[in-house]
Amino acid sequence: MTQETAEWTEPAEPAEGYPEIDALFDSLPNKNGALIPLLHKAQEVYGYLSQEIQVYVAQKLNIPAAKVFGVATFYSLFNLEKKGQFKINVCLGTACYVRGAETILAAFEKELGIDQTETTKDGMFTLDSIRCVGACGLAPVVMIDDKVYGRVTPGDVKTIVDEHLGQGGQ
Amino acid sequence: MEKLTSWDALKNYREKTCGQTSLLCVGEQDANRVVLAVGEATCGVAAGAKKIADTLQEEIDRLGLKNASIIATGCFGYCYAEPMVEVRMPGKPSVYYGYLTEEAARDIVVKHLVHGQLVENNVLPVEVNIP
Amino acid sequence: MSEKAAQVRIALRNCGVIDPENISDYIATDGYEALAKALFSMTPDEVIETVKKSGLRGRGGAGFPTGIKWETARKSQSDVKYVLCNADEGDPGAFMDRSLLEGDPHCILEAMALCGYAIGAQEGIIYVRAEYPLAVKHLQLAIRQAEALGLLGDNILGGDFSFHLSLYFGAGAFVCGEETSLMNSVQGGRGEPRIKPPFPAVSGLWNAPTNINNVETYANIPQIIRNGWEWFRQFGTEKSPGTKVFALAGRVNNVGLVEVPMGTPLRTIIEDIGGGIQGGRRCKAVQTGGPSGGCIPAEHLDTPIDYESLAGLGSMMGSGGMIVMDEGDCMVGIAKFYLTFTAEESCGKCTPCRIGNRRLLEMLTRITEGEGRMKDLDELDILGNIIKDTALCGLGMSSPNPAISTLRFFRDEYEAHVRDKRCPAGTCKKLVGYKILEDKCMGCTVCARNCPVSCISGARKKVHVIDQKRCVKCGVCHSKCPFDAIARG
């Protein structure tokens, strides 16, 4: 969960503004506890939490940037680095593990030529594992963005990747 | 929608809207209604439930079955048999079908809805007590 | 629906039955009737008394009596109080909360409003996993519909009671299932637990009295209020009334969600409802309670399930994950799997959990790689119990359970790993290898085509060879070979 290897370096000057973050901030009735919703929003819009965004959010909430960094690194859903266009998450929950999820992960690694947590050079795919998407009845499952693929076999992996290559680049 | 402002208003609303729900009410307005309830929770969708719902709808349209409608429900718990559909007809116990393919979905509309025959291969034994 | 059915659905009664996107469907199944009944015919104290008498206990795992929690929150004096719903279902292998939120969202809203009325709170927050997009969508829709009908918001059903609900999205941290961590997260901080007392019912979110229950616990509330506590007590056992939902998964034929009365034997769930083990094999163990629970060996399958009996077997109810395992599953490997999970999810605040679990994981890793020592087995047990006794929160206090329970019931399997450098189930990769038997291989290419890492080579109708350096020991070739020409050893 904690991204222990993440390092802090002085960020560039914050950009002129992040209108989506401002809009959400203005709409929140209660500014207490707004940090996590703002980070969710920033990641949804910009794909990841750059140091500029973290500093911006800190200024917005009038809290130390260290606190923002502490929260951003605590939760596994927050990315500090840019991810691929499609985020492939192989479920490694218990039900999937018992039904061979590790083999599926190995098949994706081979198909994409990257290891877990890496992104392909063309920026199309990021491969990672996830802890249970709650579709245990269909184990092993793979989640690509919001879509869940069930009863995946190593033979399906190429088809799934090709399907997305076809939609890529929009 | 108008706000309900009393307990009685809630009861009236319940009676008034029953015919617009996926549940069949006793009474004449529902004497001919058939409801196909497709499980479209995360697991059902991952198993292909949307495609099954589309196929059922196409077949219903093709045969012009005006009394049949399709609704999306949550998870019935029979994950192993997804995608699945429950056929509700007035005055009859529900029939549950599982392991659906597009072909089986078409069979259900033609055989079960039109001719009243079960599609035996896909019938699920469902033993659940809802007290 | 059969009268003698093993499944009795109270929490799941609407799941898969109603259209969750249509509030009229929920109302048609007597939805919001309990809320109306409470608001117009019961005092808050009567609501709490009913919940207390029902004997309902927390379905999130620990089994604390729900009515006592509510009563404590009611007695805490404060202008502002909160009702929280813990929908941060993080136990890998459990998905009943997802199903409930997706399939019957109004039931949770109604229960939280009832709780608000009972304890004197006007604001509720559902802390839901961001990984459940459909559940989030259905909850948002349900809240809008309920507000439009005056079933949530100001002056509910024209009365004096007002209750507002909102969602808060988790961001992927298992420890946030612990109530004080969850509240820190809602306050915008790192999800780290704190010492109790004070309990949330006295000082919780923003230091206000807060009642927090899990999704399945709330799902029982409307039925208890509507039908009365006597009705609820006809199900289950004296100490654990009602039903429990289990997410049945693993090597069983009929995986899915089942809801059974408390006291039902494990065997009924696995054999009657679950349809037995796949391929007609034998059940070896059942894992309950996820990373907080333990493995129950097959000889205890007739144990009636309730909070106390599972704890007696070194496991726990947990949120209701139930993973069935057969001879092909290595118990040391399973313990290592869970410890990998908890070591990664430990928030790092207290030393026993942060460092202790790391050491447990190292020992288990050594054992599965054939480097274990006999004294590791004793140390596992000693350290595991120290962590249980000294960790700060529920995560740490229960994290050694998978290791301690497998060691207790499957010590011979641990010893085989240590003494004979052998994994009886054949899944510990460092201890197994695959080899193609020259006299049996027909050169059919099935293994080569199925190998996920393409490490098998050989011409058609010629003996194939596995490149041992690249082999990931997944065993796919072994299971796919039509001629039994691949040996494991």
Domain chopping of chain C, boundaries: 23-232, 243-326, 331-419, 433-488
d(CA B129, CA C439): 57
Q: C24 vs B75: CB contact, 8 Å cut-off?
A: no
Residue pLDDT tens, chain C, 489 long: 333 468 999 999 999 999 999 999 999 999 999 999 999 999 999 999 999 999 999 998 789 999 999 999 999 999 999 999 999 988 888 889 999 999 999 999 999 999 999 999 999 999 999 888 899 999 999 999 999 999 999 999 999 999 999 999 999 899 999 999 999 999 999 999 999 999 999 999 999 999 999 999 999 999 999 999 999 999 999 999 999 999 998 899 999 999 999 999 999 999 999 999 998 889 999 999 989 899 999 999 999 999 999 999 988 888 899 999 999 899 999 999 999 999 999 999 999 999 999 999 999 999 999 999 999 999 999 999 999 999 999 999 999 999 999 999 999 999 999 999 999 998 888 898 888 999 999 999 999 998 888 899 999 999 999 998 888 888 889 888 999 999 887
Give the domain ranges of chain A.
1-82, 86-167
Do the Cβ atoms of C273 and C279 come closer than 8 Å? no
SS3 C304: strand
Dihedral sign for Cα atoms in the order C254, C255, C260, C264: positive
Neighbours of chain B (3+ CB pairs under 8 A): A, C
**Chain B residues inside the 8 Å CB shell of C9:** 128-131
Structure tokens at C258: 């089942």
Neighbours of chain A (3+ CB pairs under 8 A): B, C
C457 phi/psi in degrees, rounded to 5 = -125, 165
- Separation between Cα atoms, residue C276 and residue C254, nearest integer Å: 8
Cβ–Cβ contact C141 with B under 8 A:
no
Question: Average pLDDT of chain B?
Answer: 91
- Counting one residue from chain A and one from chain C, the pairs whose CB atoms sit within 8 A come to 134
Closest CB from A1, A104, A155 relative to C173: A1
Contact: A135, B42; criterion CB under 8 Å:
yes
Euclidean distance between CA atoms C292 and C61, whole angstroms: 9
Hey, are the CB atoms on B42 and A148 less than 8 Å from each other? yes
- Rounded Cα distance between C47 and C56, Å, is 13
Residues of B in contact with C148 (CB under 8 A): 1, 3
Q: State the CB neighbour count (10 A cutoff) for residue C77.
A: 8
Q: What is the pLDDT, as a whole number, of residue C1?
A: 36
Residue A37 is encoded by which pair of tokens? Answer: 């919703």
Q: Which residue of A has its CA nearest to B45?
A: A148
C489 interfacial to chain A (CB closer than 8 Å): no
Helix (H, G, I), strand (E, B) or coil at A147: strand
Which structure tokens are listed for C148?
A: 């439009």
Is 1.10.10.1590 the CATH number for A1-82?
A: yes
Beta carbons of A137 and B43 less than 8 Å apart: yes
By the 8 A CB rule, do C353 and C399 touch?
A: yes
pLDDT of residue A2: 46
pLDDT score at C2: 38
Q: With an 8 Å Cβ cutoff, are A150 and B80 in contact?
A: no
Sign of the CA dihedral C454, C457, C463, C469?
A: negative
- CB of C485 within 8 Å of a chain B CB? The answer is no
Whether A129 and A148 have beta carbons less than 8 Å apart is answered as: no
Question: Nearest CA of chain B to the CA of A138: how many Å?
Answer: 7
In angstroms and rounded to an integer, the radius of gyration of the C-alpha atoms of chain A is 18
* Max CA distance (Å), chain B: 50
Check CB contact under 8 Å for C188 and A102: no
DSSP C239-260: SSBSEEEEEEEESBSS-EEEEE
Binding-face residues of C in 23-82 toward A, CB within 8 A: none
Prediction pTM value: 0.91
Complex ipTM value: 0.94
A104 near A139, Cβ under 8 Å? no
Long-range contacts of C358-364 (CB under 8 A, 24+ apart): C359/C383, C360/C384, C360/C387, C360/C400, C360/C403, C361/C336, C364/C332, C364/C335, C364/C336, C364/C339, C364/C403
- The DSSP H or E segment spanning B7 is helix B7-17
Share of chain A above pLDDT 70, in %: 89
We find that the CATH architecture of domain C23-232 is 3-Layer(aba) Sandwich (3.40)
Query: Token pair 């249509």 is at which residue?
Result: C22
Q: In CATH, which of 1.10.8.80, 1.20.1440.230, 3.40.190.10, 3.40.50.300 is domain C331-419?
A: 1.20.1440.230
Bigger pLDDT: B46 or C296? C296
Q: What is the side-by-side order of every strand in the sheet holding C294-297?
A: C256-261, C243-250, C321-326, C283-288, C294-297
For the stretch B96-115, what's the b/e string if a residue is b when 16 or more beta carbons lie within 10 angstroms of its beta carbon?
bbbebeeebbbbbbeebbee
All structural domains of chain B: 28-122 (3.40.30.10)
What chain B residue is nearest to A141 in terms of C-alpha separation?
A: B46
Roughly what angle, to the nearest 10 degrees, separates helices C96-103 and C133-148?
40
The H-or-E segment that residue C382 falls in is helix C374-390
* CATH code for the domain defined by C433-488: 3.30.70.20
Query: Who among C256, C329, C454 is closest to A98 (CB)?
Result: C329
- Chain B: nearest CA to C284, how far in angstroms? 21
Chain C residues touching B4 at Cβ < 8 A? 149-151, 157-158
pLDDT of residue A170: 47
Question: What's A86-167's CATH class?
Answer: alpha beta
CA distance linking residue C402 with residue A97, whole number of Å: 15
CATH number of C243-326: 3.10.20.600
Query: Which chain C residues are Cβ-neighbours of B126 within 8 angstroms?
Result: 1
